[in-house]
Amino acid sequence: MAVRSGFSSRLGFVAAAAGSAVGLGNIWKFPFEVGAGGGGIFLIMYLSFCFLLCFPVMVAEIAIGRKTQRNPVGAFKVLGFPKWSIIGKLGLISGVLILSYYNVVAGWAFGYFIEMVMGNFSIGEQFGDYIKDVVKVGAYGIVFMGTTAFIVSKGIAGGIEKAAKLLMPTLVIIILSLVVYALTLDNAWDGIKFYLVPDISEVKLEVIYKALGQAFFSLSLGMGALITYGSYVGKNENIISSAVLITLADVGIAFIAGLMMFPLVFSQGLPPNGGPGLIFVTLPGVFGSLGGGLGVFIGSLFFLLLSFAALTSTVSLLEVPVSYVVDELDVRRTKAVWLVALVIFVVGLPSLIGNGYSAMFTNFITYIGDENATNFMDFVGHVANDSFLPLGGFLISIFAAYIWKKPSFYGEISKGYPEFENSIWSKYLGFGVRFLCPTILGLLFILTVLDRFFGIVIIAG
Ligand code: TRP
């Protein structure tokens, strides 16, 4: 087996994994999912899922990756359970599907950077036309996928780490400044109320399901991205504290993105359930209202940093299928990178043209039982993020708890954290992987299948 180039330091791993986690999921997707899911109630479900269900899965992924030093398919073979590499295969499919449309949205964000540089603050009102302009957004998509591929081809320590360390903190500072600014606007507090005060009547199976998908998506879990990243982590590192840092960074940034968005949305008199256009419609006007020079500066910086946040995520998404092709199919890294990137770009074409340009992909009728016409991108999101990721998490927890089993699993964690087995963390983790994840993820999966395919509604909605 080839010697792996590791991360240069502990902070390097945490920064890269947090860079993977923090992305469009936090700043673009999270606010509109909260908006569509009824506000505060979605926030509470999302937070609970992150800490109770996702955290144990995250630890398991990192431990499996570090133990085996492999990609998500090879990892299970190395551990001696080749049948379970189905988890990795499912993960590969999820990764390809997610990156295929994620890259499209990343291209939109990057294009907004250019619009802001040019002082085009009215782009928000033309968002519909903007995403329909497939030549333009297609070109941005090519630039974005190309940059991602270039970074991945440079190998893990060289590219990913460095960018993440500097840019994330800057992004946080801008968002916090916008939170402060947003709170001075009219009706801002209605937005805060919507965001933070839960309305129990909004609990619906669909919302639970979305919140769960969002938790996995946001933390980059359930498809082996952290198995891959974990494979580059040193044996003397503390997996638990790394996972805590990654989770807090990710959840924290999503949370402040919400604090920023809802006051802005309410102050502009827009409906909070504006869907995927939410940030793209709302923010340019806000930057415009800051006045010429300042608006250009803050606006372009914001979308530039958002593009970087997306880039550290696309890098991790591409790394998974690439590490599979390199390890298992024995293809040279550079070749694997460009080949996989090309395939994913092509898989993403229906998502690219399914936002107004192509009627067929814009009104893509989805799975059985859904009366709403959904565009291709939403459809892929439904399948990949909301269904495959939690399913992957379910299988990973069962694998760690009942197949790989406690002595091996805990032994791996203990390598960088000798007191682990006597700590409260081992109980929390044990309860999570053995009980909470299998039952709750399993139950939600069954409920959703019953609801969707058999019309048996247990949680009304
Ligand atoms: N977590 C990223 C975001 O919130 C997206 C992402 C990157 C991802 N890598 C992943 C999602 C792996 C699932 C699995 O933007």
Low-confidence ranges of the chain (pLDDT < 50): 1-3, 367-369, 461
Q: Give, for ligand 1, the residue of 20, 87, 253, 312 to mutate: max count of ligand atoms closer than 8 Å to Cβ.
A: 20
State the distance from the centre of ligand 1 to the C-alpha of 192, rounded, in angstroms: 26
Q: What is the pLDDT of residue 176?
A: 95
Q: Is 317 in the pocket of ligand 1 (CB under 6 A)?
A: yes
- Dihedral (Cα; 387, 39, 364, 454), 10-degree rounding: 50
Long-range contacts from 375-383, C-beta under 8 angstroms, 24+ separation = 376/101, 376/350, 376/351, 377/101, 377/104, 377/276, 377/351, 378/276, 380/97, 380/98, 380/100, 380/101, 380/351, 381/101, 381/213, 383/97
The whole-angstrom separation of Cα 138 and Cα 131 is: 9
Atom of ligand 1 nearest to the CA of 30: 4
State the distance from the centre of ligand 1 to the C-alpha of 26, rounded, in angstroms: 9
Residue nearest to atom 7 of ligand 1 (CA): 313
Q: Give, for ligand 1, the residue of 308, 316, 320 to mutate: max count of ligand atoms closer than 8 Å to Cβ.
A: 316
Q: Is 74 in the pocket of ligand 1 (CB under 6 A)?
A: no
pLDDT 10s digits, 22-32: 999 999 999 99
pTM (two decimals): 0.93
State the distance from the centre of ligand 1 to the C-alpha of 220, rounded, in angstroms: 4
Q: Is 316 in the pocket of ligand 1 (CB under 6 A)?
A: yes
Q: What is the pLDDT of residue 346?
A: 97
Contact 321/155 with Cβ under 8 angstroms?
Answer: no
Cα angle 258, 261, 264; round to 5: 150
Q: What is the pLDDT of residue 37?
A: 93
Residue carrying the six token digits 């994840």: 437
Q: What is the pLDDT of residue 281?
A: 93
Q: Is 407 exposed, middle or buried (0-12, 13-18, 19+ CB in 10 A)?
A: exposed
Rg for the chain, CA atoms, rounded: 21
Atom of ligand 1 nearest to the CA of 225: 12
pLDDT 10s digits, 260-280: 999 999 999 999 988 888 999
pLDDT 10s digits, 314-342: 999 999 999 899 988 999 999 999 999 99
Residue carrying the six token digits 């009547």: 201
Buried b (16+ CB within 10 A) or exposed e, 141-170: beebbebbbebbbeebbebbbebbbebbee
Q: What is the pLDDT of residue 163?
A: 67
Q: What share of the chain in percent tops pLDDT 90?
A: 69
Q: What is the pLDDT of residue 1?
A: 35
